[in-house]
Structure 1
Amino acid sequence: MKIERESLNYGIIGNCKSSALIKKDTSIEWCCLPQFDSDSIFCKILDEEIGGYFKIECNKTYKINQKYFRNTCVLQTNISDGENEFEVIDFMPRFKKENGKYYTPPEISRILKLKKGKPKFKVLYEPKLAFASGNTRTYKKEKFVVSIVDDKKYETLFLYTNLDKDAIINSYENELRENIYFVISYNEKINLPSMDKVFFELDQTKVYWKSWCYKTPTFQEYNNEILRSAMTLKLLNYEKTGAIIAAATTSIPESIGEVRNWDYRFCWIRDASMVIKVISKIGHTKMVKNFIDFILNIIPDKNEKLQIMYGISGEKNLTEKTLDYLSGYKNSKPVRIGNAAYLQKQNDIYGILMDAIHFQIQKYSNEDDKHEELWSIVKSIVWVVKNNWKLADKGIWEIRGDNMHFTFSK
């Protein structure tokens, strides 16, 4: 298997609390649990040597093809040498339970589904908790494989599987004779899974995403591309609060080898407002209303100025620090967590938010019961704009020098 490091060609899975990035060769190289802005459990994308990953490895004679199950965020990787063949299926459970609440545990599920023959494979399981900042120790117990890091920050990862645990600890070659499951659980021991249970959660997760897509209009042109883009935007929605993050990652550089490497796991008012306008146009009203609630909740005082960005739970202090021990994506340092841009002034955010609110009121004028609260925000925004629009700012490019006058901000 030739590993191509020249592109960011990753599949993404998620459950609207967190997500994971998976390369074509099955390597999970980025995941933060239990939520988007948590510390990572795998971050090989930011350091090839110490970042940590989870990969199913075969010899070079096997060909690999990766795609999503149609209209889902479930990733399907087919591995075959012609005579032997199996699939790696990756997903994060998300479906509605009988009580009407969504089941979104801090888990990653991985299935090896035998298609034909007796494929040989190795499990390369190297979690590195807390952004690989401490010494992660992985060892087997009776019911699971456990990984802990306790010299910096106590965290625990449990891996449940029906594969011989020694095959995971020692990475020796296996022959796939039956379907295999892996369930990663963050900080929580769970009841011992079964193959049937994992397949059930897979089917339920597929049903959820297919249902979500069914509620999306069909377009005459580029329908598949539009659906995939819409699902990706949905994955970036932290459903608990309604926040929409700019990206699932931190410190992917704007230019390889340069220093403009930012943490985008936060909610930018500008970006999220643009997303919400698109989501509103394709009819997903619940996601739109959740974001409006997020805006209402982060401005308890209607005279309070908007920050350009907030944490996914409405945090206002997003202090930035660098992780200098990580080499960065393709040696692009530094790796950052937090984002000092939260202190910046960017005058354009008000108009874009106003546009989203206006669109919301027009489209759902008979359904929305928050018009008065929204009107209070609008009046506050108008007051701020009236008194600040002529002033210099950092602009949409978030320059880290002196304030300047930008056309886009006017």
Structure 2
Amino acid sequence: MSLRIEDYALLGDTHTAALVGCDGSIDWLCLPRFDSAACFAAILGGPDNGRWLLAPAGERRAVARRYRGDSLVLETDHANADGRVRVTDFMPVREDRPVLTRIVEGLRGRVAMRSRLCLRFDYGHIAPWIRGDGRRRYAYAGPDTVVVDAGVDCRTGAGTCSADFTVGEGERVAFRIAWCGPREQPPGAFGAHQAEAAATATERWWQRWVEGCTYRGVYRQAVVRSLLTLKALSYAPSGGIVAAPTTSLPEQLGGVRNWDYRYCWLRDATFTLMALLDAGYEQEAVAWREWLLRALAGDPRQMQIMYGVEGERRLTESTLDHLEGYADSRPVRIGNAASGQVQLDVYGEVMDALHQARSHGVPPQQDAWDIQRALMDHLESHWRDPDNGIWEMRGPFRDFTHSKIMAWVAADRAVKAVDHLRLDGPAESWKRLRQEIFDDVCENGYDTRRGTFTQAYGSKTLDASLLLIPSVGFLAATDERMTGTVASIEKELCQDGFVQRYTTTEGTEAVDGLPAGEGAFLPCTFWLADNYIMQGRTDEGRTLFERLMALRNDLGLLSEEYDTSNGRLIGNFPQAFSHVPLVITAQNFQEGGGPAHHRSNARPPFRGRGKTDAAGQESGGGRRT
């Protein structure tokens, strides 16, 4: 039976990541990169699809687990009738190769332990040859070699390496696996002393990084853990940030909405950059900009919505039929066909991300502005095109309201770059474009009878992405059109107080081509809290924010969605798109405002009957509203 998603902990080395269950089993690990084939895939199948169990033999219980301070060094305490042990798991921040280390320490009594290492390359499909003797083994399969070091004698079977041993109070036994390329030299000698030194160095590395955090609010502990998670999801060589380290953890238990999130979405860029910049991490913003410039190299008009960690464009989607899926949720997918979709909102998100970086003092770069000019040239003639929308609908193109609003954001940030930052560009032309898009959205994306913006032009469906309207500065949160939209979303999209992305019942199948059904979408619920804060409903915002905080697992981690019926986290885990708004919303409670206030234009509310223009003017009477 599968562990719950919230029963897992994250390990990472800023190149890849592993998931460790509270039972002592590492059930997910891709080597050597986030998007490489998994060598532990038990979370999507079973133990025979690859895992590493290290725990007391026989009946046991995990009595506590924690990260060491502000780090990704994990400690799990296990107890049974014979005593108590601690297992410390970590991945040293990458230098030359991926390494995963585990240390068993006796705390009380004398406990019988077992290690069951089952390596299965290619997502649980290929059992490697295992060679060697003594306390070092080599597991081979094609281009992959994993060196296995153990502090006790091991025995090997068909692609497995096992050990049974006992540990007494004060004793330590260390294990390590290290990936090597086919012609690389194996790592050097290993023992308990080297493992302890590596654990201390890893803890210090993460703590030094946390020292750069400038957030000092009441939610600092939660913010720091989310920032650590975002850093762990970054790919250090390029600066790209993956959406999650996993694939195919379902949006509905037993459902088919199972996607590969081990890639870099441009959409997440603005949110991630704002969270990091407002927390004091300028270096990460510079690294991401370098990744973006490489990813968009060539013709920026061919911009995709997502790329590989090094900017790869071909993310061909396929299914792994030999895996039964988490909680029997099939199919298991690798690759992501959404990479070929048309989503106009990414133009606004890229323009906004680069604008916010400059506004926070990141040194400007001419190449970045040249790309932005090219993006604006393309957008001017294509902003009216229908697209797949923010939620990557796998169906016919539509005129999604959020996509048009983000086209407005692109024009708005282009104007500000010229007017405020003195960059060179046709500001008057962009101002006219900004106004044209604004009028079009207010005319076609707003349902005057119901008093709410809608998912798409001519649609009656609501969409939680509309909660971003005030955060991006399109309208003030107190504008009556926005308060009406919030009220409609509260009424129609909230389930037990949490927000769903859009209506997933009647008619939805025809839109995205898949059966309806998913959990409450956690980022959207954070966006609702942001609206409460910007509307002056601070107590309601805090109550909702703290309800969301309570959904984190015992280590402070969140997935993408929450199953209100079963009270479980669902979706890929941990999810950057959930941790980013946690950081932003916490910052928004600060005196003087946070990222949502910085991005908005502080436009006064609409009170008249005429249209409000893109600079806050009412076209009917010509006065300020």
State TM-score, norm by structure 2.
0.61
Of 306, 312, 319, 2:309 maps to: 312
Identity of matched residues, %: 31
Contact 2:269–2:353 at 8 Å: present in 1 too? no
Match for residue 357 of structure 1?
354
Contact 1:302–1:376 at 8 Å: present in 2 too? no
Judged with a 3 Å threshold, the aligned counterparts in structure 2 of structure 1 residues 341 and 61 are, in CA distance, closer, same or farther, namely closer
Match for residue 95 of structure 2?
103
Judged with a 3 Å threshold, the aligned counterparts in structure 2 of structure 1 residues 277 and 195 are, in CA distance, closer, same or farther, namely same
- Distance across 1 between alignment mates of 2:318 and 2:349: 29
Correspondence 1:80-99 to 2 at 5 A: 80-81=79-80, 84-94=83-93
Q: Which has the higher helix share?
A: 2
Correspondence 1:348-387 to 2 at 5 A: 348-364=345-361, 368-370=363-365, 372-387=366-381
Structure 1 residue 132 corresponds to structure 2 residue 127: no
Of 49, 52, 55, 1:54 maps to: 52
Match for residue 20 of structure 2?
22
Match for residue 202 of structure 1?
199
Q: Which runs of 5+ in 1 are unaligned?
A: 95-101
Report the Cα offset of residue 373 of structure 1.
1.6
Which residue type is aligned with residue 48 of structure 1?
G
Match for residue 174 of structure 1?
165
Which residue type is aligned with residue 308 of structure 1?
I
Deviations, residues 110-161 of structure 1 (Å, cap 9, x unaligned): 1112222211111121111111222334455245123233xxx442221101
Match for residue 7 of structure 2?
9
Match for residue 29 of structure 2?
31
Higher mean Cα deviation, 295-304 or 168-177? 168-177
Q: Which has the larger radius of gyration?
A: 2
Report the Cα offset of residue 90 of structure 1.
0.7
Deviations, residues 18-47 of structure 1 (Å, cap 9, x unaligned): 110101111100000111111111011110
Matched length: 395
3-state SS, counterpart of residue 330 of structure 2: coil
Higher mean Cα deviation, 377-386 or 236-245? 377-386
Higher mean Cα deviation, 14-23 or 254-263? 254-263
Judged with a 3 Å threshold, the aligned counterparts in structure 2 of structure 1 residues 80 and 350 are, in CA distance, closer, same or farther, namely same
Correspondence 1:368-407 to 2 at 5 A: 368-370=363-365, 372-407=366-401
Report the Cα offset of residue 53 of structure 1.
0.7
- Distance across 2 between alignment mates of 1:297 and 1:170: 42
- Distance across 2 between alignment mates of 1:243 and 1:208: 20
Which residue type is aligned with residue 235 of structure 1?
A
3-state SS, counterpart of residue 49 of structure 2: coil
3-state SS, counterpart of residue 253 of structure 1: coil
Of 89, 104, 109, 1:112 maps to: 104
Of 133, 137, 147, 1:145 maps to: 137
State TM-score, norm by structure 1.
0.91
- Distance across 2 between alignment mates of 1:406 and 1:281: 30
- Distance across 2 between alignment mates of 1:104 and 1:77: 27
- Distance across 1 between alignment mates of 2:2 and 2:260: 24
Higher mean Cα deviation, 280-289 or 185-194? 185-194
Report the Cα offset of residue 49 of structure 1.
4.7
Match for residue 97 of structure 1?
none
Match for residue 583 of structure 2?
none
- Distance across 1 between alignment mates of 2:161 and 2:343: 52
Judged with a 3 Å threshold, the aligned counterparts in structure 2 of structure 1 residues 131 and 225 are, in CA distance, closer, same or farther, namely same
- Distance across 1 between alignment mates of 2:161 and 2:241: 40
Report the Cα offset of residue 171 of structure 1.
4.4
Deviations, residues 351-409 of structure 1 (Å, cap 9, x unaligned): 11111111111111xx5151x22211221221222122211111111122221221211
Q: CA RMSD in A?
A: 2.0
3-state SS, counterpart of residue 207 of structure 2: helix
Contact 1:33–1:39 at 8 Å: present in 2 too? yes
Contact 2:130–2:140 at 8 Å: present in 1 too? yes
Report the Cα offset of residue 83 of structure 1.
5.7
Of 159, 162, 186, 2:179 maps to: 186
Match for residue 99 of structure 1?
none
Contact 1:17–1:104 at 8 Å: present in 2 too? no
Contact 2:23–2:62 at 8 Å: present in 1 too? no
Contact 2:14–2:235 at 8 Å: present in 1 too? yes
Report the Cα offset of residue 247 of structure 1.
0.5
Contact 2:86–2:107 at 8 Å: present in 1 too? yes
Report the Cα offset of residue 264 of structure 1.
0.7
